[in-house]
Amino acid sequence: DMFFPSTACLVQHRLGASRVWGFDLIAACSSFVYGLGVAAHLVAAGTHRRVLVIGADTMSRIVDYTDRTTCVLFGDGAGAMLVEAGEDDGLGFVDCLHEIDGSGAPYLNMPAGGSRMPPSIETVQKRLHYVHQEGQQVFKYAVRRMYEVSKELLDRNGLTSDQVKILIPHQANHRIITATADRLGLNGDRVMINIERYGNTTSGTIPLATWEAVEQGRIRKGDLVLFAAVGAGYTVGASLWRWAY
């Protein structure tokens, strides 16, 4: 909502939660996957009983409606998951893999508004407070790295895509999702796609898609679920879970 205080503080107050702590995690479209990894490790360490992970963005506030190549892609949305310790060691968090690649910063960003380029009449007039994207560069990187990080995560856990019940990827665009799924050998009901209803809600896409998959009966207890995302930065992440409910 603002540079400070953190949105975590505002949400904590609105929830009326006491004796808790929290922080904002800024990793663009990969934020929710990163948050799941942090939550899983906090719970596994035994220092936290429950961790609430929230993914939320209002992209409508920062897209340039004169740029039809960008503004039509995004939407506003939010979702949350509660990560807690379970009694069955065979269920829950399996593993995660996260990476960053700052060479991608020029291809997807919002140039002005931070300490590098503070707000001014000039930055507003030049429309530098909106999302700027080089679509082809982002597309190529997203397809390649979302597949690679997912494959590496499966390999290091001795798993194959045949064992994955469903892939829930970041809903960047339909072509990126299907291209990634095809390379993993996953299609049909084994890939969750709902971008046609909500657009790209950035960090909100994966919790929204997960909720719909559960509502549709596409995830059941014991199923192996793969989350994958690529975001501005670039940020890259994949997370494996054995569904516990």
Q: Which of 165, 38, 151, 145 is nearest to 93 (CA)?
A: 38
Report which residue type is found at 183. Answer: R
Quote the domain boundaries for residue 32: 1-245
Q: What is the pLDDT of residue 192?
A: 98
Annotated catalytic sites, by residue?
Answer: 29, 170, 200
Q: How many domains does the chain have?
A: 1
Joined tokens for residue 219 = 């995830």
Q: How far is CA 212 from CA 80, 194, 195, 209, 218, in A?
A: 13, 8, 12, 5, 9
User: Consecutive sets of 10 residues in the chain, 245 residues long: mean pLDDT of each?
Assistant: 95 97 98 99 97 98 94 96 91 98 98 97 98 96 98 99 98 97 95 97 98 97 98 98 95
- Write down the pLDDT at residue 89: 78
Distances (CA, A) of 237 to 131, 158, 180, 219: 22, 18, 13, 21
Q: Mention every residue, 6+ apart, whose C-beta is less than 8 A from residue 242.
A: 90, 91, 92, 94, 222, 223, 224, 225
Query: What pLDDT is attached to residue 142?
Result: 98
| Domain CATH for 223 | 3.40.47.10
What separation, in Å, do the N-terminal and C-terminal C-alpha atoms of the chain show? 33
